[in-house]
Amino acid sequence: MIKNTALILALFTGTMLPVQASITVDGNLTDWGIKRNGNANDWTPNPGIHFTVEDQTGNLNQYLNPGYGGQAYDAEALYAYITDSHLFIALATGHNPNTPNNPLGNSYGAGDFAIDFGLDGTYEVGINVKPDWDTFGVAKGLYRVDEWAYGLWENGNAPGYLKSEHPTAILAGTLLGIADMAISGPQTGYGQWKNDTHYFYEISLGLGLLRDAGWNGSSFNIHWTQLCANDFIIVDPPVTVPEAGSLLMMSLGLFGMSWVRRKKTSF
């Protein structure tokens, strides 16, 4: 009898899930494999974790994409890891989560995490970060989103840039549940610009919540940016996980095949 869920998924999807890592949601990314050696490889995680790295530096006049802001608005690295029960997300950024949202003072707060089911450019779901200035919803809430806010930049501001593909904050939606989230304080010593200040977000949510939001096991993007959208970052987890009912049917089917095989070989 096959007991390993990852092996069951591999047989039916052709994709082997990585061995489940022990991840504690505490804002410390050491258990993701993130290092503190002061070089570019610090951002490379453990095997099996999908990631995007775009670490930059500089002052507020430094160009990012599609806007400016240097280290203070740098979306540095985004990570995603899927087990048979949870989605884990981690973000490294130079943007202080407590940055006030005061556009008249050229200051923009932290955005929410957005998820695009099916990679079609529509972000159906959001995870609400909920800093002090945010008037919508509850902190750590997973929402089926009805309306997004967007950043400062219009279509074509940068090559291929489409405003609709870069949501910044949830304005309206339906609360589906609460994610586990931790945000670190300021940290230094990471990456090739080791004197830069970094902040880390870490999130865990059950796959059941994603299914409640309409996810059918297909590919999806995770997106994050600030309210100005001066620098965005996207990661697309590569593993397709069947729905819970499908897993049960697979398990029962494999158990049946194993039982029949044992019965035949007993004669």
**Exposed, middle or buried, 97 (CB in 10 Å: 0-12/13-18/19+)?**
middle
**Exposed, middle or buried, 218 (CB in 10 Å: 0-12/13-18/19+)?**
exposed
Which pLDDT does position 237 carry in this prediction? 80
> CA-CA distance, 10 to 8, in Å (whole number)?
5
Q: Flag residues of the chain having pLDDT under 70.
A: 1-21, 238-267
> CA-CA distance, 91 to 54, in Å (whole number)?
11
Domain ranges, residue 226? 18-240
For the segment 45-83, what is each residue's pLDDT rounded down to a tens digit? 999 999 999 999 999 999 999 999 999 999 999 999 999
Does any domain span residue 161? yes
Does any domain span residue 83? yes
Does any domain span residue 128? yes
Does any domain span residue 108? yes
Does any domain span residue 24? yes
For residue 215, give both structure tokens.
């996810």
Which pLDDT does position 249 carry in this prediction? 45
Does any domain span residue 246? no
Q: Please, what sign has the CA dihedral across residues 175, 176, 178, 184? A: negative
Does any domain span residue 1? no
Q: Look at the chain and report how many structural domains it folds into.
A: 1
Q: CA distances (Å), 159 to each of 29, 65, 153, in order?
A: 33, 10, 12
- Contact status, residue 101 vs residue 118, Cβ threshold 8 Å: no
For residue 82, give both structure tokens.
């899927």
Does any domain span residue 7? no
